[in-house]
């Protein structure tokens, strides 16, 4: 996966500049990988721990 992403960046962005946020729409493998990583390990947890204020 890493080699495919690097090849994609090299082909679209080239070697004269670094990728920008605007390049993401053209870097499909990179975008798919970012989405998959965020799906598996989200930045914020889905379930926030909580407890009752009063016992019933």
Delimit the domains of the chain by residue range: 2-40
**Cβ–Cβ < 8 Å for 8, 29:** yes
HSE (CB half, 13 Å, CA atoms) of 22? Answer: 2
Distance CA 46, CA 9 (A): 32
Q: Looking at per-residue confidence, does 36 or 46 come out higher? A: 36
Show Cβ contacts of residue 12 under 8 Å, excluding neighbours closer than 6 positions. 23, 26, 27
Distance CA 17, CA 30 (A): 17
Q: What is the pLDDT of residue 29?
A: 97
Counting residues of the chain whose pLDDT is more than 70, the rounded percentage is 98
The confidence band for 54, taking pLDDT boundaries of 50, 70 and 90, is confident
């Amino acid at each position: 996966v890493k080699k495919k992403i690097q090849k994609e960046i090299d082909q679209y962005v080239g070697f004269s500049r670094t990728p920008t946020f605007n390049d993401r729409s053209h870097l499909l493998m990179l975008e798919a990988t970012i989405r998959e990583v965020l799906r598996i390990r989200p930045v914020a947890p889905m379930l926030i721990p909580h407890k009752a204020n009063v016992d019933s």
